[in-house]
Amino acid sequence: MARQLRHQPGPLALAGGGEWQEPCTFDRDLLAASGGKDVLVLPTAAAYEHPQRSVDAAVAYFRRLGGRARGLMVLRRPDAEERANADAVRAARFIYLSGGSVLHLRSVLKDSSLWQALEGAWHDGAVLAGSAAGAMVLGDPMVDPRGGALTVGLGLVEQLAVLPHADTWSAEKAHRTFSLAEGGLRIAAIDSHTALIRDPDGSWRVAGAGHVTIYVDGQPSGLEALAR
């Protein structure tokens, strides 16, 4: 029997980095929200940083949570156009994008068959999580890690830029990024081991070990700014 389409986005977790470690308490809830035990890990952003290590870390971590993680080695642009990879993403109920190079991640996924499959899975109710680069790429605009300027993201969430590892950024670098925000742009400064989570009803909350601050036009605000 074909799976019934829910036609409602699933939970979306934008994590600030340090993924698959004990302080990331939100992952247990995300796994439960998926309705199963399987987690599909895309180590795309870690393509040049030992991607198998990222997968192995996820496998060990989710095993402790009672889950089963596996990697999908979409490391280059041709991988994102392979039908088997796109089909695997479309069928997944919990998709996790690792940290690494956000610029490489964007170049692999942008306008690809796999990206279309990812959007479709999420809009059909799958859980989608991204950590650091994996979170940054989902917004538009996107923070360029080379200097903190804003550039084009993939736009799953519009008018929202993610600044991960906010607890490690220098005040000068963070201020430079915040000062570029205008026109109602929201920037989420997310600490490591912390997630900004959008629930299926459209509400936002913070989970994990650290803090999240929302900036609108460069000024600190609360989560209510995300409802705009």
What CATH number did the domain enclosing 140 receive?
Answer: 3.40.50.880
In-domain check, residue 97:
yes
Angle at 109 between CA 104 and CA 110, to 5 degrees: 100
Residues 6+ apart with CB under 8 A from 8: 123, 124, 125, 200
Contact 48, 104 (CB under 8 A): yes
Residues of the chain with pLDDT under 50: 1-5
Question: pLDDT at position 117, please?
Answer: 98
Question: pLDDT at position 58, please?
Answer: 98
Question: pLDDT at position 147, please?
Answer: 77
Residue 146: CB atoms within 10 Å: 9
Residues 6+ apart with CB under 8 A from 18: 24, 131, 165, 192, 193
Question: pLDDT at position 3, please?
Answer: 45
Residue 150, helix vs strand vs coil: strand
In-domain check, residue 87:
yes
C-alpha 120: how far from chain center: 15
Question: pLDDT at position 17, please?
Answer: 97
In-domain check, residue 175:
no
In-domain check, residue 95:
yes
In-domain check, residue 227:
no
Question: pLDDT at position 6, please?
Answer: 53
Residue 49: CB atoms within 10 Å: 14
Question: pLDDT at position 157, please?
Answer: 94
Its sign, for the CA torsion 132, 197, 200, 39, is positive
* Mean confidence (pLDDT) of the chain: 93
Q: For residues 10 and 31, what is the distance between their CA atoms, to the nearest angstrom?
A: 12
DSSP β-bridge partners for residue 213: 189
Q: For residues 155 and 10, what is the distance between their CA atoms, to the nearest angstrom?
A: 16
In-domain check, residue 22:
yes
pLDDT digits (tens, 9 = 90+) for 199-220: 999 999 999 999 999 998 878 8
Instruction: Quote the number of domains for the chain.
Output: 1
In-domain check, residue 24:
yes
Residue 63 domain boundaries: 12-158+192-202
In-domain check, residue 25:
yes
Q: For residues 227 and 142, what is the distance between their CA atoms, to the nearest angstrom?
A: 19
